[in-house]
Every structure is written in C-alpha cells, then in structure tokens.
Amino acid sequence: MASSGCWKCLARPSGSLTSQLALRTPGVSAAFSTTTARAALPIKAKKPSQARPALKAKGSKTLRIKKKAPAKPSGKPPMPGERKAMRKRIVLSNTNALEVPMMDFNEHMVADPTMAGKVVALPGEVVDSLRAVEAFKVNQGWGLFRKPALLLREESAVLGQKMVAAEKNKEAVRLVIDGERGSGKSLMLLHALSAAFLRGWIVLSIPEAQDLCNASTEYAPLPGTNPTIYTQNVYTANFLAQIQKSNSVLQTLHVTKSHNLPIPLPEKTTLARLCELGARDPDISWPIFQAFWAEITGPARPPVLFTLDSLSFTMGLSAYRSASYELIHAHDLALVQHFVTYLSGEKPLPNGGAILGATSRSHAPVSASLELALKQALEKQQHGEIMTKKDPYGKKYDTRAEDKLKSVEVLKLKGLSKVEARGLMEYWAQSGLLRSRVDERLVTEKWALAGNGIVGEIERGVLRMRI
C-alpha cells in the first residue's frame, strides 16, 4: 500500500494515516488468511470532522441551535379535484335553521316598490335554474338558512321596473351595477336572473368573467377573422349546457331559420336540443352558440337576459397570448366580444331584454376606463352633465373599453335603508341566527357599524362576527 505521506516524513505519520491504520487494525491483525478481509466490505474512512468532533471549523462563532425537522403530514391526502369540489360546493339548505314563514317570489313582486324591505323565498324551479347558471356563490352564506331567500330592496324594484318596461317596449336595458364591496351587486344580478326566470325570459349568465379572461380555459383562433377572434370552445360548450339546463322555455321553442352548421340539423329541433348538441361537442360549440343566438333574437321570441359578473376583467387585456406572443385583448375573445357588443348597444335586442354587468370590488383588476365611464354615467344620470373629465396624461385608459362603455347606464348600489336592514335582521332572527331582540337600537347600531348599511358588512357584523 502506498502511503499517503511522503517517504521523508515517515517519522511523523500524518493524522489521516494513523486514523486509517487504527481503524483497520482488527481486520489486519486478525487475518492470517486474507480472504475474509477481502470479502468484507472495505471500511469507509470517516470524515475528519466526525473523527474529531471537538475541533470546529475556524470562524464559526455564533451559537447554532439545531432546528427541528418539519412535521410530516399524517393521514391520506385528498384525491385530485377533491379540494376544489369542496371549495366550490354550494349548500343551499340547512336543516338546523328554523323555517321562516314568507311569501314566494313571483313575477308581480319584481317591480313592486312597496315590497322593499321584505324577504321572499325563491321558488324551487327558480332555485334549480339559478344553481344551473351558477348564480349562487360560495361566500354568500346560503348554507346558513333553511331555504334560499332574497331581500327585496328599493334598487331591485328600480331594476325590476326597467326590466318590465323593456319587456313591454321590446328594448334592451343596458346597465352596469356598481357599488362598494359587499353592497349586494352579485345579489342584484341574482335578483334580475330570478325575475327573468319567473317572467319566462331566456337567460344567459356568465357567473364570473375571470374564468373567461385569466387563461384558464382552452382557446383557439377563429378561422377567417381579421383581426383574429379567439373562441373558447370548452367554456362555450359548458355555457350552452348551462343555458339548456336552466331555461325550461327552450323546450317549447323550435329552430325556425336555416343555419350553416358543421352538423346536420333535423327539422323541428328544439332550441334545448340545439344547445345540447353544442354542449356535446366543444369543436362546434361556437357556431352552435351563434345559431342559438340568431334563433332567440329572431321574431316572436321571449326577451333575453344576458348577465356578466366581474365586468372589469373584460375591460382590458386578457391573460391569453396570440401566436406572436402578445397579450390578447379581452374584446378579441368571441364570447366576451359578443357580450360587450350588446352591452354597448351596437346591436339591438329585437325582442327586448336586458344586458347586465356587475363590477367586483374585492378581487378584480382596476380598469381606469370602466371607472371613468361609471363615474361619468352616474354624473349624467344625477346632474344631467358630465363633470369628470378624462385625465389627459392618463396612460391606463383602454380605448376599446371606452368605446363600448360610452352609453351604458349605471345602477349605483348604496347601503340598505334602515327599513330594509330591519327586514333582513328580522328574517335572521326568525331563522334562529340572530338571538337578540331586533329593535330600533340594534338595527341602527349594526347599520352604522356596517358603514351606513352596507349589506355584506351587516351580515359580517351580525352573523359571522359573533363572539
């Protein structure tokens, strides 16, 4: 064996050599025969730090305390998709909550201002339809009550009157619902949806514009379009399925026009069947949606309600990329473009109806153009003239969004009135959720603490922040 030290230094063997020798001694000294030693695995030389733990590396002066290893998760991890299903689960009934005697929402209550402050139950078939169009959202507290109910407000009567007038005059209500966080914008959309279901309208609803614009669903360029339009076939197919499921009216309506579709369409096909065909095959969903829209806007059809929540997602660039790796504007997505075309009033609704958008104030991008348009529209409605001018140096405006939002109306939601707040709190008390006496003092206190009656804040203060 060649020594690791040089021959001149034999008198003073190096440290590593001595340690090696010392470690090997049992094997070396015991064996007259070398077989066992050869057969055995060679003993590993220990690292110098392990051999002499007393010596530390120079320069390390600080105290080191050994950290504990992170705790290993115990139990079975959830299956793929289980968490999301749990997160998105909508519970509409709670058997622990008390039954509250109340009226069912009907088509006559839609535009009745005297009903303000009353809580009405949603009829079963409307609940099914609303569930199909995903109008109920997870954080709205539906699971606290025996059955879904709706507070009728002054603003909902205003919206209802507009819808009734539109139905009568065969015009389109083009409206954006705005208000601060928790002021009930999505619930106002739900009110409009249920009113439309009750009055036999055809209802289309995009429950969350975010799903369309944040690049989470498939997209493909539509051939023969310049500038290129992108369709979202899977989303559109699902959208058609929702339309078919929620609108029972479609069973009675038949295709009357001839369409240039990739699949043959039998005579006397119902519109429900048409939607089903589109829902079945995502590749043809967009042409089928167009055919469906052409049918429902044809002569002698019921009015149409088209709603979209979280409007500001659609008023700027989407998260999708074009072939040249540029961000696609949300208005180049076929479904969004379809919505904003009707929201802007470029195309009319010949049978009347409503195109409603609602803003989102908690988790949505800020669209400078939308903010400006809403402010100006509100000023025009209240004072008859526009007082806020566009910032001449502002760079965040989106010209395409501005064009589309020029002539929309705004429904600005404020806090509840005290009468409405009282109606709501009495309903909670009857459901067994609010245990104190509902009187003037309690109502005003909760109303004031909730920022002058912001309904979401009242709910937070009364139902969720119970100590």
Least Å from the CB of residue 346 to other proteins: 36
Least Å from the CB of residue 96 to other proteins: 25
Least Å from the CB of residue 440 to other proteins: 6
Q: Determine if 141 is a binding residue for other proteins (CB under 8 A).
A: no
Axis-axis angle for helices 334-343, 233-246 (nearest 10): 60
Q: Determine if 441 is a binding residue for other proteins (CB under 8 A).
A: yes
Least Å from the CB of residue 189 to other proteins: 22
Joined together, the tokens standing for residue 440 give: 């003037």
Least Å from the CB of residue 136 to other proteins: 24
Q: Determine if 180 is a binding residue for other proteins (CB under 8 A).
A: yes
DSSP letters for 323-382: TTS-EEEGGGBHHHHHHHHHHTTSS--TT-EEEEEE--SSSS---HHHHHHHHHHHHHHH
Alpha-carbon gap, residue 181 to 364, rounded angstroms: 11
Least Å from the CB of residue 467 to other proteins: 10
Out of 99, 125, 403, 445, point to the residue binding other proteins (CB under 8 A): 445
Q: Where are the alpha helices (DSSP H) in 199-311?
A: 210-213, 233-246, 271-280, 285-296
Alpha-carbon gap, residue 447 to 427, rounded angstroms: 15
The binding track of 182-221 with respect to other proteins, each residue x by CB under 8 A or -, is x---------------------------------------
Q: Determine if 29 is a binding residue for other proteins (CB under 8 A).
A: no
Please work out, in degrees rounded to the nearest 5, the angle formed at the alpha carbon of residue 264 by the alpha carbons of 261 and 269.
95
Chain centroid to Cα 5, Å, comes to 72
Least Å from the CB of residue 47 to other proteins: 24
Stretch of 20-28, 208-216, 294-302, 439-447 contacting other proteins, by CB under 8 A? 439-447
Axis-axis angle for helices 440-449, 418-430 (nearest 10): 110
Choose between 197 and 447: whose C-beta lies nearer to other proteins.
447
Choose between 54 and 300: whose C-beta lies nearer to other proteins.
54
Q: Determine if 440 is a binding residue for other proteins (CB under 8 A).
A: yes
Out of 112, 128, 444, 463, point to the residue binding other proteins (CB under 8 A): 444
Q: Determine if 395 is a binding residue for other proteins (CB under 8 A).
A: no
Out of 160, 282, 316, 415, point to the residue binding other proteins (CB under 8 A): 415
Distances (CA, A) of 135 to 83, 128, 440: 21, 10, 33
Q: Determine if 103 is a binding residue for other proteins (CB under 8 A).
A: no
Least Å from the CB of residue 425 to other proteins: 14
Q: Determine if 451 is a binding residue for other proteins (CB under 8 A).
A: yes
Is the bond leading into 262 cis (omega within 30 degrees of zero)? no
Q: Determine if 459 is a binding residue for other proteins (CB under 8 A).
A: no
Axis-axis angle for helices 233-246, 271-280 (nearest 10): 150
The binding track of 118-137 with respect to other proteins, each residue x by CB under 8 A or -, is --------------------
Alpha-carbon gap, residue 430 to 437, rounded angstroms: 11
What pairs with residue 206 in β-bridges? 308
HSE-up (13 A, CA, CB side) for residue 427: 23
Q: Site for other proteins (CB under 8 A): how many residues?
A: 22
Q: Determine if 253 is a binding residue for other proteins (CB under 8 A).
A: no
Out of 454, 459, 463, 466, point to the residue binding other proteins (CB under 8 A): 454
Least Å from the CB of residue 367 to other proteins: 20
Stretch of 17-25, 196-204, 429-437, 445-453 contacting other proteins, by CB under 8 A? 445-453
Choose between 61 and 437: whose C-beta lies nearer to other proteins.
61
Distances (CA, A) of 447 to 42, 103, 188, 229, 345: 82, 25, 20, 48, 38
Q: What residues numbered 40-69 form the site for other proteins, per CB under 8 A? A: 61-63
HSE-up (13 A, CA, CB side) for residue 271: 30
Neighbours of 337 (CB within 10 A): 18
Least Å from the CB of residue 378 to other proteins: 17
Least Å from the CB of residue 208 to other proteins: 24
Chain centroid to Cα 467, Å, comes to 30
Q: How far apart are the first and last CA of the chain?
A: 80
- Which residues contact other proteins by CB under 8 A? 61-63, 180, 182, 415, 418, 440-441, 444-445, 447-452, 454, 457, 460-461, 465
